Amino acid sequence: MYDNDYEYDILGVLRLLRFVQMYRPERAARLVAGETQFSTEQILEFIYYSIEEIFDDCYSEYDEMSGSELMCIYDTVFDEYLDFSAKLMEAHPCSVQAVRRRFEDIVTFFLSDRNCGIFDMTIRYEGNSPQIQLEFAEGYWEPGGLVIALTDLMHYLIRENEHMKQIIEKRSDKIVSLPKHCMEEAA
Amino acid sequence: MLEFHPEIFTELLHSVPEKIPYCEKPQHSEYLQTEVFDRLRRGETIDLTKLDLNAFDLCHTAMEWSEDHYRGMEQGWQKGFNKMLKLIQASPREKRAFF
């Protein structure tokens, strides 16, 4: 589309910057001020050190046992998704596990792409707060694909949260209940 | 046993929320073309502090093939889901389990 050999990775950088500008504007200024000059040689380095700005909390560590790099991410958007989903499900006999499973499916859907370079993924819960741990195989790192997948995931969850919030606010009008005689039969 | 009411079933189907797209429809940005891609191709560096982050949107940074990619992913998941459905107990007996 833009006729550039590094289009994929450059779009990853621009997508990261635009996403942070939209949802974390205070960080965008800091991010840009920290790395003022940008060239094609710095793409991978820029993404590597800037990807944490997408989330509220993100850190990487090297696992000596497996020889792989781990990235742990947490964001309030994840909590909001589970909270709103649980509120929407109050009218239905749905367990917390089902809501969590749905969240895990969404995360898997966006991050299971081979272009991300993710070798393994684990989702842990501290209370009701999910923390995603990504594992990258040693020497295999796809910054462009990863940043695009992560921003797509976050953007999707944010839109889903906004949508659920609207439904909850208008829930009394939105819920279609079964006729009284059906409810009586079910009881 | 509950009676099936087609009109209620249809009403419930219509109450299903609109599907949220996985990504934005990719669009070309002339600003990004001239200010970023053309300059980087010429070997120039970009001063990020002068880059207007409000001059483009996420749709201008989506890959051309992203829609096809997610559509393919979705179809793959649907196939997997259908396969799971075929494995449930009622399916091999060819009995109606729902309606």
Query: What does residue A73 show for φ and ψ, rounded to 5 degrees?
Result: -130, 145
How confident is the model over A32-57, as pLDDT tens digits? Answer: 887 778 888 888 888 888 888 999 99
Whether pLDDT at A123 is above 80: yes
Q: Report pLDDT for A46.
A: 86
Residue ranges covered by each domain of chain A: 7-172
What residues 48-67 of chain A have any CB closer than 8 A to a CB of chain B?
none
- What does DSSP assign to residue A117? T
Do A119 and A140 meet the contact criterion of CB atoms below 8 Å apart?
A: yes
Do A6 and B43 meet the contact criterion of CB atoms below 8 Å apart?
A: no
Instruction: Give chain B positions within 8 Å (CB) of A176.
Output: 8, 11-12, 15
Q: Which of A8, A36, A179 has its CB closest to that of B49?
A: A36
- What does DSSP assign to residue A113? -
Q: Is the ipTM of this complex over 0.85?
A: no
What pTM was computed for the model?
Answer: 0.83
Of B9, B3, B7, B15, the closest CA to residue A186 belongs to: B3
Q: Which residue of B has its CA nearest to A180?
A: B2
